[in-house]
Structure 1
Amino acid sequence: MRASITRPPTPDGDDGAEGAPVSDMEPTLQEKINIKLVESGEKEKLKELLRERLIECGWKDEMKALCRAYARQKGRNNVTVDDLIHVITPKGRASVPDSIKAELLQRIQTFLVAAAL
């Protein structure tokens, strides 16, 4: 079947992966872990722990200062939230302390062992 240049092909419920319909596909390991974390309430606990640790180490204040400096540089009326997200996100992710990442990873691993995943 040839695809039209002016419109995309009509989906037929098949993603092409070994002929299995999308609805019959097994969730990935990452999806299973996320489901377990959400169902158990552990994901919210981890998010709260992350918030606390980032505030304690001054990361939140550092990101706020970066946002303010960017807004001053571009002019307050010329900056959108999307601009801030685009500029600050890479810096923010790169500046999370390794100790916090390690602590969260350890908590996730402990949860997975206890959940037998």
Structure 2
Amino acid sequence: MKIESQLLKKLLTLNGEKERLKELLRERLNECGWKDEMKSLCRSFTRKKGRNNVTVDDLVHLITPKGRAAVPDSVKAELLQRIRSFLHSTAL
């Protein structure tokens, strides 16, 4: 499984598809308000703890699980479909 994952990453990168998928993800997350939701969460946490008492690591620790959980299923499905289409078009 690890080898397959590494091969997929390499194929996506070599073809430029990885960057296109990243851009699509950025667009979709922005459209659905995910980015604003995460920004608000960071601001709220920073206000609560005090600006000088918060590190980037603190924010990453807070945001990562919440951010992953907040990605809409429709966005995940669209990305998965794009990856499947890419794999099908490369005839693997």
In which range does the TM-score fall when normalised by the shorter chain? over 0.9
Counterpart residue number, 2:51: 76
1:116: Cα distance to partner?
Answer: 1.8
Aligned residue pair count: 91
Pair 1:52-2:30 in alignment = no
TM-score (normalised: structure 1) = 0.76
State the structure with more CA Rg: 1
Q: Which has the higher helix share?
A: 2
The higher-RCO structure (CA 8 Å, 6+ apart) is 2
- Aligned mates of 2:7, 2:76 — CA distance in 1: 21
Segments of 5+ residues of structure 1 without an aligned counterpart are: 1-26
1:30: Cα distance to partner?
Answer: 0.6
Per-residue CA deviations over 1:21-51 (Å, capped at 9, x if unaligned) read xxxxxx7011111000000000000000000
1:96: Cα distance to partner?
Answer: 0.2
> Runs in 1 of length 4+ with deviation above 6 angstroms?
none
Where do 1:1-117 residues align within 5 Å?
Answer: 28-117=3-92
Counterpart residue number, 1:12: none
Segments of 5+ residues of structure 2 without an aligned counterpart are: none
